[in-house]
């Protein structure tokens, strides 16, 4: 089987190369091009139904690309292999779900954004590892949680978006250690830990899932992921399952050194022991305070900008607001500022809100206007906390 696959792939590549040689007879060029395209297709079918490996997959796709180039040279109407076509025409096998050109707006809290090249929802950990191992290394990968802290630009995202679901949301507690899947919601982890008498209450009011909380070192009321994280398990861009201690992530205010394209799949936390009833009461108080001060019923993505002070609100009575993002935005007269259907919330001016029908350009444009005016007013440079990804909409319509 292995020898036959090798011969098929080598012949396909040879056919593609011969098809690109100068020739007076386009019929020969076309014949070689068809061989270069057809045989890798056969290899693909065999691999999908029999023994498969990512190495064969990549070889077959490269041969197909050569065949397309040859067919274009033979005048048969096929487009040349410009890289983008080759990278989006075929993807490795997946037992989960892969959706091409998937609009992302309905997957983000702000309800904006164009399509991704592909949305991948792996069936389980092995499915994710196999897929990333076989995916060409030049193809961008973007791990996405529940979209709570994200603006996807209107032109969409030229990447494979990885979204974890069932199979990645388990929560277990052993003593004072809590292990949570990356797809588990922060609030669910806080509640499950409290039920077991473990204090991770700071997670209760943080929107999003554990994978994003780790990547951004999420924090609230003076506590951060960095204060409790022991280690994570992540799948590298080339499909390896890696265990990283928290120290290797270099966690700091809303940042980490998690490599690009790596997908967090699990995190282990350590919490202080506590009485379940007292922990529950504390979380209830946090929720009441959040509801009083934040536009929880509006479409927002949480805090828009990092605090210039370099730390989160502590929630304590002596908490200083002088270098808080909401304070400097308010001082610049931008509470309630609008652009299109985007608005800086009148209730909390560091919350960017989609009042209905806003585009990503409206939201990001308003944010940039706020940054500019705050700098003009106070000399302070605001930095985005919301992640913005993708391409602006092509106004030419092409």
- Is 378 an active-site residue? no
For residues 313 and 221, the answer to whether their CB atoms sit within 8 Å is yes
Averaged pLDDT, 227-240: 98
| Portion of the chain with pLDDT greater than 70, in percent | 74
Strand order in the sheet with 97-103: 97-103, 115-121, 157-163, 141-144
Selected catalytic residue, list 303, 312, 313, 345: 303
Q: Which of 35-44, 130-139, 305-314, 374-383 has the lowest mean pLDDT?
A: 35-44
- Is 368 an active-site residue? no
Here the tokens at position 359 are 């585009």
For residues 129 and 241, the answer to whether their CB atoms sit within 8 Å is yes
Residue 79: the pLDDT is: 39
Residue 311: the pLDDT is: 63
Residue 222: the pLDDT is: 87
pLDDT-derived band at 90, boundaries 50, 70, 90? confident
**Pairwise pLDDT comparison (90 vs 111), residue with the higher score:** 111
- Which value, in Å, is the radius of gyration of the alpha carbons in the chain? 25
| Interatomic CA distance for residues 203 and 186, integer angstroms | 5
Averaged pLDDT, 71-99: 60
Averaged pLDDT, 135-146: 96
- Is 266 an active-site residue? no
Averaged pLDDT, 39-49: 45
Residue 333: the pLDDT is: 98
pLDDT-derived band at 12, boundaries 50, 70, 90? low
pLDDT-derived band at 20, boundaries 50, 70, 90? low
**Residues in a beta bridge with 181:** 266
Selected catalytic residue, list 153, 254, 299, 371: 254
pLDDT digits (tens, 9 = 90+) for 47-60: 433 333 344 444 44
Here the tokens at position 3 are 């020898």
Close Cβ partners of 176 (under 8 Å, ≥ 6 residues apart): 198, 270, 271, 272, 273
pLDDT-derived band at 394, boundaries 50, 70, 90? confident
Averaged pLDDT, 178-183: 98
Residue 221: the pLDDT is: 84
């Amino acid at each position: 089987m292995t020898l036959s696959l090798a011969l098929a792939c080598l012949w396909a590549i040879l056919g593609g190369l011969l098809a690109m040689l100068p020739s007076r007879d386009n019929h020969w060029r076309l014949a070689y091009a068809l061989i270069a395209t057809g045989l890798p297709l056969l290899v693909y079918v065999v691999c999908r139904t029999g023994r498969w490996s990512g190495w064969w997959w990549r070889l077959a796709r490269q041969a197909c690309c050569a065949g397309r180039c040859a067919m274009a040279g033979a005048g048969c109407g096929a487009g040349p292999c410009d890289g983008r076509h080759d990278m989006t025409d075929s993807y490795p096998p997946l037992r989960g779900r892969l959706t091409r050109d998937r609009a992302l707006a309905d997957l983000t809290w702000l309800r904006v954004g164009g399509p991704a090249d592909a949305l991948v929802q792996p069936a389980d950990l092995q499915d994710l590892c196999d897929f990333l191992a076989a995916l060409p290394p030049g193809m961008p990968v973007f791990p996405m949680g529940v979209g709570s802290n994200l603006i996807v630009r209107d032109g969409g995202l030229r990447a494979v978006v990885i979204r974890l679901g069932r199979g990645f949301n388990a929560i277990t507690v052993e003593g004072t250690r809590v292990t949570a899947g990356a797809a588990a919601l922060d609030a669910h982890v806080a509640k499950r830990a409290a039920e077991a008498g473990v204090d991770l209450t700071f997670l209760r009011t943080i929107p999003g899932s554990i994978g994003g909380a780790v990547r951004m070192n999420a924090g609230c009321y003076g506590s951060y992921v960095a204060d409790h994280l022991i280690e994570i398990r992540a799948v590298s861009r080339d499909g390896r399952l890696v265990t990283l201690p928290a120290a290797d992530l270099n966690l700091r205010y809303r940042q980490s050194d998690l490599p690009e394209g790596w997908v967090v799949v699990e995190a282990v936390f350590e919490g202080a022991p506590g009485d379940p009833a007292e922990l529950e009461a504390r979380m209830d108080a946090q929720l009441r305070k959040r509801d009083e001060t934040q536009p929880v019923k509006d479409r927002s993505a949480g805090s828009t900008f990092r605090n210039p002070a370099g730390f989160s609100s502590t929630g304590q009575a002596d908490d200083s607001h002088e270098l808080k993002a909401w304070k400097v935005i308010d001082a610049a007269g931008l509470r309630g500022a609008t652009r299109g259907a985007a608005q800086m919330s009148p209730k909390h001016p560091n919350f960017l809100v989609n009042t209905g029908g806003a585009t990503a350009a409206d939201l990001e444009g308003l944010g940039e206007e706020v940054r500019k005016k705050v700098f003009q007013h106070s000399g302070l440079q605001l930095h985005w906390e919301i992640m913005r990804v993708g391409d602006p909409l092509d106004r030419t319509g092409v």
